[in-house]
Amino acid sequence: MLTIYGIKNCNTMKKAFDFLNAHGVAYEFFDYKKQVLSQDKFDDFVQIFGSQVINKQGTTYRKFDDNTKATLETCNTSAMYEIIKDNPSVLKRPIVLGKIGNADVALIGFDEQKYTQTFTQS
């Protein structure tokens, strides 16, 4: 089963939801605004995607002071987690993790070409 992590009202999330629904891909949705991401799951995100987990183009990131931004770039997951648990909007969206059949899936952001390659192969 796949889990898609993000925020429901995000435009990029809507593109991912639309794609998955149009292609009949079953998934669970983890809403950062309604659920608290665990430290372990955040550590998994960083291990898989590295610094890509931080959305540096978003307004949440841009509002941070230089020290906070520096902490988010250290890849010290404990220090990073302390920031993101109170500011989940700073996480890149969507993050899709899980399995389709026997294949592991790990995607970050929405790239239609990557989604097509991942979800439409027979």
* Residue 76 belongs to domain spanning: 37-92
The tally of domains found in the chain comes to 2
Domain of 108, CATH number, reads 3.40.30.10
Q: Are residues 41 and 88 in the same domain?
A: yes
| pLDDT confidence tier of residue 79, bands split at 50, 70 and 90 | very high
Quick check: is 75 catalytic? no
pLDDT at 16: 97
Beta strand segments in the chain, E: 2-6, 27-31, 95-100, 103-108
Predicted structure pTM score: 0.92
Of 32, 55, 34, 49, the residue nearest 105 (C-alpha): 49
Would you say residue 122 has pLDDT above 80?
A: no
Environment class of residue 24 by beta-carbon count within 10 Å: exposed (0-12), middle (13-18) or buried (19+)?
exposed
Widest distance between CA atoms in the chain: 47
70 & 81 share domain:
yes
**Statement to judge: residues 73 and 84 lie in one domain:** yes
Q: Choose the catalytic residue: 4, 10, 84, 97.
A: 10
Same domain assignment for residues 28 and 64: no
Are residues 42 and 88 both part of a single domain? Answer: yes
Query: What digits encode the pLDDT tens for the residues 28-45?
Result: 999 999 999 999 999 999
pLDDT for 104: 94
